[in-house]
Structure formats: structure tokens, C-alpha cells
Chains A and B, each alone.
Chain A
């Protein structure tokens, strides 16, 4: 079975401080993992993806995530938050090789950035 858990529904940080959004997954197959961002009243935009190459993945807007198989985690980080980072973030797992097109979405983490 496949599942994904975003450990925090809301995260608040001050502008200029580090961001950490936590994601744990469960997958019977080697997973592909994604982080998407959704700004208010917008669709989802891909931030970054892991597909079995380097375990440290760099994405857009200074975000990165590290795939840790032993911890079944794929946490999203950014060294310094910007006001424009305020949005909802979704962690997604897709089981490669399972013959399914399914994406399993986490329930989202809403990031608030304080001035």
C-alpha cells in the first residue's frame, strides 16, 4: 500500500529564516516523490521531483529536498523564507513500476511567512 503523511498542517516562519516542511511516505514499490506548491486560487506548480537519481534534489525558488530511504522521508527545505513563499505545499508519492498512474497526495502544509 502507498501513503504519504505531511506531519504539519500549518507552519509559520519569519522572513529570512529557514523553512522545513516534513513529509513521510510508505510505498511497496520504489517511489517517485514530488513537492508541489499552490498559491491562493491557483493550480499546483511542481517545485521538485525525486526519481531515483541523486537523493538531494534541487528545485525552483531555492527549495530542495532530500530522499532518505531509511527514514522513508522526503522533507522540503529552504535556507531563507521569502514573503512570496506563503502558500500551500503538497508532498506526492507515485509508486514506480506498479503499473498504476496514481499519484497519492498528502493533505498539504500551509506555510505562513511573517514579516
Chain B
């Protein structure tokens, strides 16, 4: 059974803290994605990675960075958390190649920044 796991389901951090969200997939997928989900806005792409150490900005990369040192792991970093980064964060992975491949999602991390 395919699996994408995220390090925390719920996280509470203070403004200005550095925050790490981690995602691991066990499907040997080349592509990995970080989204944030906000009510009424659907999912918005923050960053994606198509290979180890490779990354591309998505639609809303400001205030975020990512790291992919190993194929199975993709980390999202909030360098200095702010209250407007309170959101649900979803990680996903997919096979390489045609964009017809579906993405598999983790359970999400609900981050609250106070």
C-alpha cells in the first residue's frame, strides 16, 4: 500500500520561530510537492521537487524554503514563522514523467502560528 507520511498532524509555533515540516514517501517517486490548503482557496502549490536536490517554486513560495537531500524525504522550512502562515500543509508525491500520474497525499499538518 502506497504511503506518504508527514512528521506531525498538529503543530503550534510562535511568531519568528523556524519551523520544519517533514514528508516521507515509500513509493520511490521522483516528484514531491508541498501545498497549503486554506478554506475557499483550495490547494496552492508552494514548492515541488523533481529529483534529489532539485526544486522549483510554485505559486506561493514567499516565506518558505525546501530541502530534498534524499529521494524519499522532502522538507518544508518556514524560516521565520508568521501568523499568516497558519494553515493546513499537505505533502504529495507522484511518479516521474507524464503529468497524467496521480499525486498521492499525506494526511496533512495543521500548523498554528501564534
Chain B positions within 8 Å of A103 at CB level: 33, 43, 45, 99, 103
Establish whether residues B42 and A108, one from each chain, have CB atoms under 8 Å apart when the complex forms: yes
What's the Cα separation between A102 and B100 when bound, in Å? 10
Known: A101-B50, A107-B42. A51 touches B90 (CB 8 A): no
Chain A positions within 8 Å of B99 at CB level: 32, 94-96, 98, 100-103
Chain B positions within 8 Å of A102 at CB level: 45, 58, 99
Is there a chain B Cβ closer than 8 Å to A45's Cβ?
yes
Number of A-B contacts (CB under 8 A): 61
> Given known contacts A52-B100, A101-B48, what 11 new A-B pairs fall within 8 Å (CB)?
A32-B99, A43-B105, A44-B90, A44-B105, A45-B105, A90-B43, A96-B100, A101-B31, A102-B45, A102-B58, A102-B99
Nearest opposing residue in chain A for B40, CB measure: A107
Establish whether residues A42 and B108, one from each chain, have CB atoms under 8 Å apart when the complex forms: yes
Which B residues are closer than 8 A to A by beta carbons?
A: 4, 9, 31, 33, 40-45, 48, 50, 58, 90, 92, 94, 98-100, 102-108, 110
What's the Cα separation between A52 and B98 when bound, in Å? 13
What's the Cα separation between A105 and B41 when bound, in Å? 9
Establish whether residues A43 and B100, one from each chain, have CB atoms under 8 Å apart when the complex forms: no
What's the Cα separation between A36 and B90 when bound, in Å? 14
Instruction: Offer 30 A-B interface pairs, CB within 8 angstroms, sorted by A.
Output: A9-B40, A32-B99, A32-B100, A36-B105, A41-B9, A42-B107, A43-B106, A43-B107, A43-B108, A44-B43, A44-B105, A45-B105, A46-B104, A49-B100, A49-B102, A90-B42, A95-B99, A96-B100, A101-B31, A102-B58, A103-B43, A103-B45, A103-B103, A105-B42, A105-B43, A105-B44, A107-B40, A107-B42, A108-B40, A108-B42
Chain B positions within 8 Å of A108 at CB level: 40, 42
Q: Would you give the shortest CB distance from A114 to chain B, in whole angstroms?
A: 22
What's the Cα separation between A46 and B103 when bound, in Å? 8
Is there a chain B Cβ closer than 8 Å to A34's Cβ?
yes
Chain A positions within 8 Å of B44 at CB level: 105
Q: Would you give the shortest CB distance from A15 to chain B, in whole angstroms?
A: 26
